[in-house]
Structure 1
Amino acid sequence: MTARADTSLLELSARELSAAIRQRSVSAREVLEAHYARIDAVNPAVNAVVTQVREAAYAAAARADERTVVTPPDELPPLHGVPMTHKDTHAVRGIRTTSGSPVFAEHVPDHDDLIVARFRAAGVISTGKNNVPEFAAGSHSFNELFGTTHNPYDRTRSAGGSSGGAAAAIASRIQPLGDGSDMGGSLRNPASFCNVVGFRPSTGVLPLAPSPDAWAWLGRSGPIARSVDDVVLAMSVLTGPDPRVPLACPVERAAFRTLAAEDLPEPDARPLAGVRIGLTTDFGVGVPVEAEILDVLREQARVFEQIGAVVEEAVPDLRDADEVFDVTRAFDMAVNLRTVVAEHREQVKPEVVWNVEKGLALTGPQLMDAALARTRLHEATQAFFGAYDLLLCPTAQVLPFPSEERWLRTVTGMPMQTYVEWLRSATLISATGCPAVSVPGGFSPGGLPVGLQLVAAHGRDVELLRAARAYDIATRHAERAPVL
């Protein structure tokens, strides 16, 4: 079979692509050929995909096609035959998983992480791995093993991170859907940089399993896609508790399935009638944000009003969020990576070493103060969402920056002291524990993508995605493809 040179198949959404395979309009092998042909065509420019398993993927596609022949379409899984590279920090059985680190350059797991296992159970064909910063630390996807992932909309710029390889692959039409993770913006920031959608669920909705700390709450797994509708479809197969993680799941998988089955609103409808949205440009704590991003935010706020929402300036009291995030992140980094740093210090990038050492230096009073601050932050967030349904704010503080930089030292002239400080627009929201989604909001005058961040109360993931999908359908910003 000759590989398709065009992107006609891969312009389809994951929902459309799987439906076409289930209805036998196209075979899983043909879709896989288009997937790999696209990798061959564009990956040298963007460096999103770092490991490929073509022989195993074609065998899986052949099995999928055999199953298609003997199984009624409505009995096949929702993502039947859809090809997907996975984030290189997610364990995938039988596929090299390096976490972007020389320490694990030849590591091949014998198990799937939960998000991968659930995607595969839903019919996904695993085709390889996509790039990350080392140990997913930082929001710029570069490492010593594979180099830098470049932004499809401007290949001199960063694709963000840590799910930067996934975002770049999806924006480049290599695949419609991917898996990611997010502690301090690692789904949302690359989504903003690459004009795609990144969703960070509420705690417990998609457990991080297996995990060395089953009670960890700051980091999340979640999907990334070119449309909110595909994110909804993904959550309809990913959601649910896992016995290895004792955190409660506040949303039933059936709720996402119901949302996935709802009729989509017409572009000229007012599906957000009665929805109350608080708008903030600086998160109430003086977060610096580039002017071009704020211009897009204010312009798109009017779109939310046009589709029915009431938008007014309001923000939760986030004064405790920095302390909660910084202490919790340092603690989690130390829990997860202290042994690696102790045994392989010279092979680990300095930002990771710094963050682990910060965690090891935490004192009892610091941990106690952070616990009290988290309670105050929760109360403030609850109060805000008693008055508003959603918070609308910038996803990223900056436009995609030159890819030769490790991290930004200044934002709008304000010095940044650490490699995560320029991500406060995301980390402040992470500290609240609330679900958040970055949706494409348009472009700067220079043609760089701008993402908008929508946040809802804990457990209101379905309502959040319903509103985000309505905006996404009204604007269709992600349909503007990069020129590669």
Structure 2
Amino acid sequence: MVANFRPDASDPADLSAIEARRLIGRGELAAEELARACIARVEAIDPAVNALVARDFDAVIEGARKADADRAAENALGPLHGLPVAIKDMNDVAGLATTFGSEIFRGNVPKRDDALVAGLRKAGALPIGKTNNPEWSAGANTRNRVFGTTANPHDLTRNCGGSSGGSAVALACGYAPLASGSDLGGSLRTPAAFCGVVGFRPSFGVVPGDARRTSLLPLATSGPMARNVADCGLMLSVMARPDPRDPFTAVAGGKTAWRPEDFANLPRCDLASLRFAVTEDFGFAPVEAASQRTFREGVNALLPFLRSCEEASPDCTDADRIFAVLRSVIFLSTHAAFVDKSPELVGENVTENVREGRSYSAEDVAQALVMQGNYDRRWQGFFEDCDFILAPAVTAQPRDWHEAYPKEIDGQATASYYHWLACAYASTIAGCPSITIPCGRDENDMPFGLQIIGRRHDDLRLLAVAAELEALIAGLSELAPKGPDLAALARAPKLSAAEGFWDVP
């Protein structure tokens, strides 16, 4: 190692990505020292939460030593130089298992990084391991038959969210300052809300999906996760690469319409100059009364600092139908063959999606696409009189992880295992960027996520606004976020010994 961490500072594992990168660049913190601190945190905490399901710590240390040697030699350093990053088990990392949470791919070990991971590594990041997700990211409870359950670090009896649940838990516990996530109907926003971290779903095409099978159907996208907004911006500056293999990533002359480097240096903005719309439920989402109360308490605390804040929502007519049909099309494209050939190896959620997809006709799909076009135009029109929308990230707060999904909300039955994610997929359908930041605690003392939504392709300004709101929230004692009790987690029994750990339908 080439440096010693400052003795008056906190554990290096708790540093922000930006601060850690600054210290490494100045020679005040060795990349190996940071890597060892993160590894020690994993070894102390992960038995209690089961978030990091594949790892090769020897490779991480070797990469950190090379990062330190490059700094000592005064070689050019990338924006993520020496930073550990946790990778969702939907992305290939060379030499680590990529299972997608599926028994069919239990033994799949890729030889090469996929494009997203290769880009992070080129920027200097060190993949510390793979994070758990539900089978094929289907659902917002991180459980599968390959690795079992991941628990919420704020309460080990509760759901950590999903599908990027392992990434959110890894961040909350200090395994790495950055983590990858992906989002179709809230898959990075929901776990960010449940675990008290930040999850950013960018506009479609900002983070290219070079291997997405339904490449012309704009619903699913990868995005950054971190413990604060600025760190998300730093990671996005690397993820937002020019890749013409994604038809929604506009590339001309080798460059995108957006400047990726701008995401790493968020501009300041005046919250009092902006027009905010506030909605509890977008007019259709089944938001529980307790979540509405917590949301209202948070918004009311912020109101004195906002010039314009109006109760309003875009017209979300047909949202449930659009999402149900088009989501099923995506699942049919990849998973139908698995259900047909190896039904015993496919879980309940994926099987149900395939079954549902086969119940729709070509006319149903055509109508859903037309509905989506009309839906999008209504949303874009709404933003003519509004700059940003404030809403809950999720319809219901974390429940017992044994429950596959909320089958009812305040006594009303949900329509499907994904219906309770309506607060997230409301903006997905319109292709608008959305970010979830911690904003207070709910009535069970669990983190609460505030969702902020902006115009399509207004990603930079959305991140800037989120950073301003984050700073404002940090200064309000009733809303300021707090992390999990790491000492208690280190003493907790192994989650794998809990009843129901492997009982995944």
Provide the TM-score with structure 2 as the length reference.
0.90
Tell me the residue number matched to 1:135.
136
Q: Deviations over 1:59-106 (max 9, x none)?
A: 11111111111126xx31111111122101112222111111111111
Alignment of 1:449-468 (within 5 A): 449-468=447-466
What residue identity is the alignment partner of 1:42?
I
- Shifted more, 397-406 versus 426-435: the winner is 426-435
* Closer/same/farther in 2, CA of residues 201 and 309 from structure 1, 3 Å limit: farther
Tell me the residue number matched to 1:200.
201
- Residue aligned with 2:290, SS: helix
- Residue aligned with 2:13, SS: coil
* CA displacement at 1:38 relative to structure 2: 0.2
Q: Does the CA contact (< 8 Å) of 2:236 and 2:263 recur in 1?
A: no
Tell me the residue number matched to 2:265.
261
User: Is 1:88 the counterpart of 2:89 in the alignment?
Assistant: yes
* Closer/same/farther in 2, CA of residues 53 and 344 from structure 1, 3 Å limit: same
Tell me the residue number matched to 1:187.
188
Q: Deviations over 1:4-33 (max 9, x none)?
A: 9x9611221011111111111111111111
Aligned pair partner of 2:52 in 36, 40, 49:
49
Q: Deviations over 1:262-320 (max 9, x none)?
A: 5667xxxxx212211111112112x2222332223222223443333411100000012
- Residue aligned with 1:273, SS: helix
* Closer/same/farther in 2, CA of residues 234 and 33 from structure 1, 3 Å limit: same
Alignment of 1:104-119 (within 5 A): 104-119=105-120
Tell me the residue number matched to 1:437.
435
What residue identity is the alignment partner of 2:236?
M
Provide the TM-score with structure 1 as the length reference.
0.94
Tell me the residue number matched to 1:10.
13
Matches of 1:176 and 1:475, distance apart in 2 = 21
Tell me the residue number matched to 1:77.
78
Matches of 1:196 and 1:309, distance apart in 2 = 27
User: Is 1:408 the counterpart of 2:412 in the alignment?
Assistant: no
- Residue aligned with 1:311, SS: strand
Matches of 2:263 and 2:145, distance apart in 1 = 42
RMSD: 2.1
Matches of 2:361 and 2:370, distance apart in 1 = 15
Aligned pair partner of 1:472 in 470, 473, 495:
470
* CA displacement at 1:256 relative to structure 2: 4.8
Q: Deviations over 1:345-381 (max 9, x none)?
A: 1111021011012223331110111111011101110
* CA displacement at 1:151 relative to structure 2: 0.4
Tell me the residue number matched to 1:64.
67
Alignment of 1:271-420 (within 5 A): 271-285=270-284, 287-420=285-418
Tell me the residue number matched to 2:222.
221
Tell me the residue number matched to 1:483.
485
Tell me the residue number matched to 2:423.
425
Q: Deviations over 1:116-167 (max 9, x none)?
A: 2221121110121111001100000001111110001101001000000000
* Closer/same/farther in 2, CA of residues 148 and 413 from structure 1, 3 Å limit: same
Matches of 2:313 and 2:287, distance apart in 1 = 16
What residue identity is the alignment partner of 1:314?
A
- Residue aligned with 2:273, SS: coil
Matches of 1:453 and 1:112, distance apart in 2 = 32
Matches of 1:448 and 1:289, distance apart in 2 = 17
Q: Does the CA contact (< 8 Å) of 2:266 and 2:460 recur in 1?
A: no
Matches of 1:464 and 1:91, distance apart in 2 = 29
Q: Does the CA contact (< 8 Å) of 2:268 and 2:464 recur in 1?
A: no
Matches of 1:264 and 1:11, distance apart in 2 = 25
- Shifted more, 456-465 versus 161-170: the winner is 456-465
What residue identity is the alignment partner of 2:373?
T
Tell me the residue number matched to 1:230.
231
Matches of 2:236 and 2:257, distance apart in 1 = 7
Matches of 2:111 and 2:337, distance apart in 1 = 21
* Closer/same/farther in 2, CA of residues 309 and 155 from structure 1, 3 Å limit: farther
Aligned pair partner of 1:26 in 25, 29, 35:
29
Matches of 1:391 and 1:382, distance apart in 2 = 12
- Residue aligned with 1:89, SS: coil
Matches of 1:31 and 1:415, distance apart in 2 = 47
* Closer/same/farther in 2, CA of residues 403 and 447 from structure 1, 3 Å limit: same
* Closer/same/farther in 2, CA of residues 174 and 309 from structure 1, 3 Å limit: farther
- Shifted more, 196-205 versus 241-250: the winner is 241-250
What residue identity is the alignment partner of 2:271?
L
- Residue aligned with 2:282, SS: coil
- Residue aligned with 2:204, SS: coil
- Report the number of matched residues: 475
* CA displacement at 1:42 relative to structure 2: 0.6
Tell me the residue number matched to 2:491.
none
- Structure 1 unaligned blocks of 5 or more: 266-270
Alignment of 1:155-174 (within 5 A): 155-174=156-175
Q: Does the CA contact (< 8 Å) of 2:267 and 2:464 recur in 1?
A: no
What residue identity is the alignment partner of 1:70?
A
* CA displacement at 1:213 relative to structure 2: 2.8
* CA displacement at 1:201 relative to structure 2: 0.6
Q: Deviations over 1:412-436 (max 9, x none)?
A: 1110131111111112221111111
- Shifted more, 203-212 versus 110-119: the winner is 110-119
Matches of 1:76 and 1:358, distance apart in 2 = 49
Matches of 2:74 and 2:358, distance apart in 1 = 54
Q: Deviations over 1:165-194 (max 9, x none)?
A: 000110111112100100111000000100
Q: Does the CA contact (< 8 Å) of 1:202 and 1:434 recur in 2?
A: yes
- Shifted more, 428-437 versus 165-174: the winner is 428-437
- Shifted more, 351-360 versus 470-479: the winner is 470-479
